[in-house]
A and B are shown apart, each in its own frame.
Chain A
């Protein structure tokens, strides 16, 4: 009886994150501004980190957190690089 609780929660989590990613994709396509698209990409990265964490719980391996940490860093650097480029016309001055 207790075996189904975590599976049900994981299924709900995967479904919620998938739906969230679909909504982010809609905002990424629709815009209307460049800043909206940067924000949508940033949110997509955060949601994908959530997917990796849930996959780590479901797989029980415990090795997927390096991927989550790497994606967190790369996503942040990407967002800041987009914003810097739009602000200054250059990324590393």
Chain B
């Protein structure tokens, strides 16, 4: 292997890795039995795959063309920050709709998730605490 081939091989390997992870994440979205399990695929595997592709882009533009770009790092930082937040929001919606018995919301083979140990119930079902943004009583 010559020195000029290194950027192509590195970027190509990262692209293949990213494509494989994205495929695994979406396959998990199709294959897994309930929403709480299905959340795992897109939030972890697909985000990691996209991170690999963004690193491949940085490597390719830096080593192959000599241009230093930072947009990709911005995109990956934003995605790695927002993926857990949106997954948390979706899980909260699922818990509320599951308890309300909405159509289409199945608990999955393991049954509905139990309340967390050491607490009365999931925090999303509690009334807002005094002085927090969700507390409209004292307005």
Chains A and B form a bound pair: yes
Interface residues of A in 63-82 (CB under 8 A from B): 65-66, 68-69, 72-73, 76, 79-80
B contact patch SS = helix
In the complex, how many angstroms separate the beta carbon of A19 from the nearest chain B beta carbon? 6
> Which of A10, A40, A46 has most B Cβ within 10 Å?
A46
Q: How far is the CA of A39 from the CA of B37 in the complex (A)?
A: 12
Check B42–A46 contact: CB distance below 8 A: yes
Check A76–B50 contact: CB distance below 8 A: no
Q: 9 A-B contacts, Cβ less than 8 Å apart?
A: A2-B9, A19-B26, A43-B29, A49-B79, A65-B75, A72-B82, A80-B86, A86-B93, A87-B93
Interface residues on A, range: 35 or more
B116-128 interface bits toward A, Cβ cutoff 8 Å, 1 = contact, 0 = none? 0000000000000
| Nearest chain A residue, comparing its CB with the CB of B23 | A16
Check A87–B86 contact: CB distance below 8 A: no
Binding site for B on A (CB under 8 A): 2-3, 5-6, 8-10, 12-13, 15-17, 19-21, 23-24, 26-27, 31-36, 38-40, 42-43, 46-47, 49-50, 53-54, 56-57, 60, 62, 65-66, 68-69, 72-73, 76, 79-80, 83-84, 86-87
In the complex, how many angstroms separate the beta carbon of B113 from the nearest chain A beta carbon? 14
Q: How far is the CA of A34 from the CA of B67 in the complex (A)?
A: 44
Assuming A46-B22, A46-B47, what are 13 further A-B pairs, CB within 8 angstroms? A5-B12, A13-B16, A35-B35, A35-B90, A35-B97, A38-B93, A40-B29, A42-B42, A43-B42, A49-B79, A57-B56, A69-B78, A72-B82
| Nearest chain A residue, comparing its CB with the CB of B12 | A9
Residues of B within 8 Å of A, CB-based: how many? 60
- Is B115 an interface residue when CB atoms closer than 8 A count as contact? no
| Nearest chain A residue, comparing its CB with the CB of B91 | A35
Q: How far is the CA of A20 from the CA of B38 in the complex (A)?
A: 14
Check A39–B29 contact: CB distance below 8 A: yes
Contacts A32-B106, A38-B93, A83-B89 known; A47 to B46 CB distance under 8 Å? yes
In the complex, how many angstroms separate the beta carbon of B64 from the nearest chain A beta carbon? 8
Query: Which chain B residues border A53 with CB–CB below 8 Å?
Result: 50, 53-54, 57, 72, 75
